[in-house]
Structure 1
Amino acid sequence: MLEKVSVYIATHNRIELLKRALNSVRKQTYSNIEIIICDDGSRDGTWEYLKSCNDSNLIILRNSEPLGACVSRNRCINAATGRLITGLDDDDYFYLKRIERFIEKYNLYKEKNFSFLYGDLIINEQNNKFIRKAPKTVTFKDIVKKNHVGNQVFIEKDKIKSELFDESLPAMQDYDLWIRLIKKYGNAIGVQNSGYILDISHPHERISKKSERLIRACEVIIGKNKINKVFNEDVFLLNLYAYGFETHKLTFFKTLNYLKHKSFYRAFKIWKLYR
Structure 2
Amino acid sequence: MNNMPLVSVYVPTYNRIELLKRALTSVLSQSYQNIEVIIVDDKSSDGTQEFLTEMAKQDNRVKPILKEQNSGACISRNLAIESAEGEFITGLDDDDYFLPGRIAYFVENRHLLNKYSFLYTHFLTLTKSGQYKKTRYLDMAMPNEITSRDLLFKNIIGNQCFTYTQRMKDAGKFTPDMPAWQDMDLFYRMLNNSEQKQARLLRQSLYVQDTSHDLNRITLSNKEKIHRAFTLFCERNQVSGKYQDILEAQLVSYGLKVRNSLFLTRLRTNTKPYFYLVDAFLFLKNQSNK
What TM-score comes out, normalization by structure 1 length? 0.87
2-structure distance, mates of 1:230, 1:70: 30
2-structure distance, mates of 1:105, 1:190: 11
Aligned residue number for residue 249 of structure 1: none
The more displaced of 120-129 and 183-192 is 120-129
Indicate the SS of the match to 2:163: strand
Indicate the SS of the match to 2:173: coil
Aligned residue number for residue 261 of structure 2: 266
Aligned residue number for residue 250 of structure 1: none
1-structure distance, mates of 2:261, 2:241: 19
Is residue 143 from structure 1 mapped to residue 146 from structure 2 by the alignment? Answer: no
1-structure distance, mates of 2:52, 2:45: 13
Report the CA distance shift for 1:66/1:48 in structure 2 as closer, same or farther (over 3 A). Answer: same
Q: Would the aligned equivalents of 2:91 and 2:161 in 1 still touch at CA under 8 Å?
A: yes
Is residue 215 from structure 1 mapped to residue 227 from structure 2 by the alignment? Answer: yes
Aligned residue number for residue 45 of structure 1: 47
Aligned residue number for residue 245 of structure 2: 234
Aligned residue number for residue 64 of structure 2: 60
Give the aligned residue type for 2:169: K
TM-superposed deviation, 1:224: 1.4
Q: Unaligned stretches of 5+ in structure 2?
A: 267-278, 285-290
Report the CA distance shift for 1:155/1:267 in structure 2 as closer, same or farther (over 3 A). Answer: closer
Aligned residue number for residue 198 of structure 1: 209
Indicate the SS of the match to 2:229: helix
Structure 1 outlier segments of 4+, above 6 Å: none
Q: Would the aligned equivalents of 1:135 and 1:148 in 2 still touch at CA under 8 Å?
A: no
Indicate the SS of the match to 1:174: helix
Indicate the SS of the match to 1:155: strand
Aligned residue number for residue 164 of structure 2: 156
Give the aligned residue type for 2:200: I
Q: Would the aligned equivalents of 2:11 and 2:93 in 1 still touch at CA under 8 Å?
A: yes
Indicate the SS of the match to 1:38: strand
Q: Would the aligned equivalents of 1:141 and 1:230 in 2 still touch at CA under 8 Å?
A: no
Indicate the SS of the match to 2:215: coil
Aligned residue number for residue 34 of structure 2: 32
Identity across the alignment (%): 37
Indicate the SS of the match to 1:205: coil
Report the CA distance shift for 1:267/1:189 in structure 2 as closer, same or farther (over 3 A). Answer: closer
What TM-score comes out, normalization by structure 2 length? 0.83
- From 179, 194, 198, give the equivalent of 1:187: 198
TM-superposed deviation, 1:31: 1.3
Indicate the SS of the match to 2:109: helix
Report the CA distance shift for 1:268/1:8 in structure 2 as closer, same or farther (over 3 A). Answer: closer
The more displaced of 9-18 and 203-212 is 203-212
Aligned residue number for residue 130 of structure 1: 133
TM-superposed deviation, 1:267: 7.3
TM-superposed deviation, 1:24: 0.2
Indicate the SS of the match to 1:150: coil
Aligned residue number for residue 251 of structure 1: none
Report the CA distance shift for 1:203/1:221 in structure 2 as closer, same or farther (over 3 A). Answer: same
Report the CA distance shift for 1:51/1:118 in structure 2 as closer, same or farther (over 3 A). Answer: same
Aligned residue number for residue 276 of structure 2: none
Is residue 76 from structure 1 mapped to residue 104 from structure 2 by the alignment? Answer: no
How many residues of Structure 1 are paired with residues of Structure 2 in the alignment?
256
Give the aligned residue type for 1:220: L
1-structure distance, mates of 2:18, 2:211: 15
Report the CA distance shift for 1:235/1:29 in structure 2 as closer, same or farther (over 3 A). Answer: same
